[in-house]
A and B are shown apart, each in its own frame.
Chain A
Amino acid sequence: MMARGLYLWVFILLFAAQNGHGQGQSDNWFDQGNQLYKNEQYNEAILRWEAVIESGVHSAAIYYNMANAYYHLNDLASSIYYYEKALELSPGDGEIKANRAYVQNALVDVIREQPKTLFQKWDEASAQLLSVNTWAWLGLFFMGLFVFVVIRFNWVETPAAKRFSFVMSVLSIMLFAASIYLGVKTQSYKQKYRWAIVFAQEMSVRSGPRLSDEALFELHAGTKLRLLQTQDEWQEIELADGRRGWVSSQEIKAL
């Protein structure tokens, strides 16, 4: 027991140390960007923040700040793009949603979402509850708990303690299975649901991946799309209201 715990701690410390490398630099650039934003030097602020992201780290806060700066620069597509990125990392942040609503007001397209059944809602909510990594750690935790209580079952002598250990072991193995299931689900959801934002001022959605194909409808900058299949320079997309079509990959930017 002790050896395992020690090993875990060493791992966590190593991970933290690795993560901490360059953190000072990131914070520095981040603060510089914040200061430039305050002085309304939005382009320069974005450059600083981009440097942070280039260095290999990111956060909901930095994407949110970039989105705000792009909004002030009247670049709606980029603004929406970074709000969506921020929300990917922090899905419940009300501030991000509220500011995104401002930008969405200025967009041309209004896409009404298709109504979903209760099961679909649950299905989606469960896949967006926690990140894959969190589920992975939870799975490990419940597996550890299971091992511990099984050993404890054999260790303790009083019937009450044995009963408790038994219930705990069944519970923890079930929670372990649930964590693995949700982790796999979240992972496949992320692979299945890839998103993009329209960057072209105006573009046609066509019935097929050719310029000769019929243009079905028009989309404008800032609209969020779900990516389906790809062929060469063409991308099949689906809107929240269920409409589908093909667009040129150059006119959109994947999240």
Chain B
Amino acid sequence: MRVMAKWIFYVVVLMIPMGLGAQVEFTAKVSKKKLGLNERLRIDFEMNQDGDNFEPPSFEGFRVLGGPNQSISNSWINGKRSYSKTYSFFLAPLKKGVATIGQAAIEVDGERYKSLPVEVVVTEAVEIPKDGNNADYLASENVHLVAEVSNTNPYLNEAITVVYKLYVSNQVSITSNWREIDSPKYADFWSQNLDQKGQLQIYEGQYRGEDYRYVILRTAVLYPQKTGELSIEPLTLDVPIDVRSNRRDFFGRFMTTRVNKTISAGRRTINVKPLPLENRPEDFTGAVGFFDFDSSISRSELDAQESLEYSVTVRGEGNLKLFELPKPQFPNAFEVYEPARNDKISTRTSGMRGSVSEVYTLVPQNQGTYPLPPLSFSYFDPNLERYITKTTQDHIVSVINGPAQESALQNNERADTNLVVVDTDRFSYIKLQSDWLARNPAPWFGTWAYWRWVLGLLIFLPLWFVLSAIRNRYLGDTASRDLRKRKRLIAQYLSQAKAEQQNPTAFYAALERSLHLFLKAQLKLETSGLSKENIRALMTQRTLTQDAIDRLIDLIERCERARYAPTTAVDVQNDYNEAQEVIALINNTKR
């Protein structure tokens, strides 16, 4: 019996904890004791026995947003039963100050149990409504997306880098992929994204003094294309975040809640400086960075119609894709083809690096020596903050064989050149002889000195007339001039006859001789041919009047008659006058 009683005792003792465990607990739990006016509060009334007739408090100073929500959990762990029944309410405070949530009551096994009243402090509205246990709140507090800008005050066209980093604290984890809601837009920038390849690398870092892990989501190289305040539109991600809750799962691990959170990198403003205006070279086309500049030709000696390549290269670091290469100018005798562009550019976080070149194919058409003028290229060095100009050396192309045909320029002049026989197939040698002319001779034509010369010549005219007039006055008037002339002529021929007027025979002999001489001189007759018929014929030819001829022949006959028959009556004076008149007549008519 004693043994029996002992066993019963043990059983009873062992049963005591069970009886104690069955003690009813009824508590009120608030999600936070202090909250802002714009925040929400959750209150749970929890019991460990199945109670009935739940009576919620009046919730004075609060507005009931939701509830009561009833939930029951019943679990057996290692044969131990745990039971809970919860009535939840969501409340919004109505005024600031200390608010008391009154007692709630339930009935278990006919007994009424009441919860303790809870005091809650309601403060001013907070910026972000927080819920300390809210997974959303936790997620937003522990995950940050940051845009790091390498230089917020760059020069125009100077490379800047924007790195988007996702910071994740050790309290939360991200296990699946995020979704990009809003891609950043780089208006007024030339941009290139440097996307990570493969798995994201996880780095350890600090965010606001706390240890964080971070991944680099994206790196973009930006070249501002405008001056002034430029903004980078934010990157917005929808990230699924696993937030550890205080609850544990079946195996004792903390339960995680997945929260989809939209996080944004925030808007960044970049203040772009303009490039300085002073000392800006004329050939500056907007290159900013550090460059080398070079030009080269593939060959310097060739024949016409063969081709050569001329390449212009800019090599270095900077906005390589964003400026024009200097355009070379070629002689018009070269056929130039569109250049082939050759870019070898790699983009890194520091910006673009590599080389840009343009290759021109040239085909000379004519022989000759062609200097290709040097090219210059200017860029702005953002570190030295000044412009730098680099110039290439000039190249000389010799076209050895080929036509030397003149260019189109000469078309209108070629005709002239062809008039003179010139060997255009070669470049002529210099001239070795020279006639010298005075440079800048004093102007003569049109000056007073010139017109004096003209007048000096003209003055001879009046001078001559004046002189001849004086001479005429000296010699007599013009009317008597003919007479004087005739007298002179007659005197020339009849001087001898005149002298012999007293002796008729001699007179007629002289007169006849004189007439013959006159005829010889005037009619260019030979004495031998001086027959009267001959004279008549010749004189008729010379268009002398019949009267004059008759008178002359008559006179000659009279002379002959007087010579051979001197006795006949003669009139010396009359014949002398007659001779004068005939000579004058013939002389005048002959003109």
* A-B interaction: yes
Residues of chain A touching chain B, judged by Cβ–Cβ distance below 8 Å, are 1, 4, 19, 23, 26-27, 30-31, 34, 37, 53, 56-62, 64-65, 68-69, 71-72, 74, 76, 89, 92-95, 97-99, 101-102, 104-113, 132-133, 135-136, 139-140, 143-144, 146-147, 150-151, 154, 158-159, 183-184, 187, 201-202, 220-221
B497 to nearest A CB, angstroms? 26
- How far is A19 from B464 in the complex, measured between Cα atoms in Å? 35
- Give the residues in chain B near A98, CB-CB below 8 Å: 406, 417, 422-424, 428
The reply to whether the CB of B331 lies closer than 8 angstroms to some CB of chain A is: yes
By beta carbon, the residue of chain B nearest A111 is B409
User: Is B369's CB under 8 angstroms from A61's CB?
Assistant: no
- How far is A135 from B417 in the complex, measured between Cα atoms in Å? 25
- Give the residues in chain A near B431, CB-CB below 8 Å: 60-61, 64-65, 95
Which of A69, A106, A183 makes the CB contact (< 8 A) with B369? A106
Spot the interface stretch: B26-34, B141-149, B433-441. B433-441
- How far is A65 from B431 in the complex, measured between Cα atoms in Å? 7
- How far is A112 from B411 in the complex, measured between Cα atoms in Å? 9
User: Is A187's CB under 8 angstroms from B423's CB?
Assistant: no
- How far is A108 from B330 in the complex, measured between Cα atoms in Å? 6
- How far is A221 from B431 in the complex, measured between Cα atoms in Å? 26
Which of B412, B430, B444, B454 makes the CB contact (< 8 A) with A37? B430
Binary flags per residue of B397-416, CB closer than 8 Å to A gives 1, else 0: 00000001011111011001
User: Is A74's CB under 8 angstroms from B436's CB?
Assistant: no
User: Is B428's CB under 8 angstroms from A95's CB?
Assistant: yes
17 more CB-based (< 8 A) A-B contacts, given A59-B436, A94-B419: A68-B430, A72-B369, A74-B394, A74-B396, A98-B417, A98-B424, A101-B407, A102-B404, A106-B370, A108-B330, A110-B407, A112-B409, A140-B453, A140-B457, A154-B468, A183-B445, A201-B373
User: Is B434's CB under 8 angstroms from A62's CB?
Assistant: yes
By beta carbon, the residue of chain A nearest B464 is A151
A158 to nearest B CB, angstroms? 7
User: Is A151's CB under 8 angstroms from B404's CB?
Assistant: no
B21 to nearest A CB, angstroms? 97
- Give the residues in chain B near A58, CB-CB below 8 Å: 436-437, 439
By beta carbon, the residue of chain A nearest B406 is A101
Those of B356-370 within 8 Å (CB) of chain A:
366, 368-370
Number of B positions contacting A (CB below 8 A): 60
- How far is A60 from B329 in the complex, measured between Cα atoms in Å? 31
Binary flags per residue of B90-134, CB closer than 8 Å to A gives 1, else 0: 000000000000000000000000000000000000000000000
The reply to whether the CB of B14 lies closer than 8 angstroms to some CB of chain A is: no
A201 to nearest B CB, angstroms? 5
- How far is A151 from B459 in the complex, measured between Cα atoms in Å? 12
By beta carbon, the residue of chain A nearest B421 is A94
By beta carbon, the residue of chain B nearest A202 is B329
Given contacts A135-B445, A143-B454, contact A108 B331 (CB under 8 A): yes
User: Is B428's CB under 8 angstroms from A110's CB?
Assistant: no
A186 to nearest B CB, angstroms? 9
User: Is B446's CB under 8 angstroms from A97's CB?
Assistant: no
- Give the residues in chain B near A53, CB-CB below 8 Å: 439
Given contacts A94-B417, A97-B416, contact A187 B445 (CB under 8 A): yes
By beta carbon, the residue of chain A nearest B329 is A108
- How far is A169 from B26 in the complex, measured between Cα atoms in Å? 151
User: Is A151's CB under 8 angstroms from B408's CB?
Assistant: no
User: Is B444's CB under 8 angstroms from A136's CB?
Assistant: yes
B101 to nearest A CB, angstroms? 79
- Give the residues in chain A near B438, CB-CB below 8 Å: 19, 56-57
- Give the residues in chain A near B83, CB-CB below 8 Å: none
The reply to whether the CB of B323 lies closer than 8 angstroms to some CB of chain A is: no
User: Is B437's CB under 8 angstroms from A89's CB?
Assistant: yes
**A-B residue pairs in contact (CB < 8 Å), sample of 10:** A19-B436, A61-B434, A64-B430, A68-B427, A104-B407, A108-B329, A108-B330, A146-B457, A151-B460, A183-B445
Given contacts A34-B432, A97-B417, A144-B457, contact A136 B445 (CB under 8 A): yes
By beta carbon, the residue of chain A nearest B371 is A74
- How far is A10 from B272 in the complex, measured between Cα atoms in Å? 83
The reply to whether the CB of B450 lies closer than 8 angstroms to some CB of chain A is: yes
User: Is B369's CB under 8 angstroms from A71's CB?
Assistant: yes
Those of B292-337 within 8 Å (CB) of chain A:
329-333
The reply to whether the CB of B458 lies closer than 8 angstroms to some CB of chain A is: yes
Binary flags per residue of B435-473, CB closer than 8 Å to A gives 1, else 0: 111111100111000100110111011001100100000
- Give the residues in chain A near B433, CB-CB below 8 Å: 61
- How far is A112 from B407 in the complex, measured between Cα atoms in Å? 11
User: Is B436's CB under 8 angstroms from A76's CB?
Assistant: no
B436 to nearest A CB, angstroms? 4
B470 to nearest A CB, angstroms? 14
- Give the residues in chain A near B366, CB-CB below 8 Å: 105
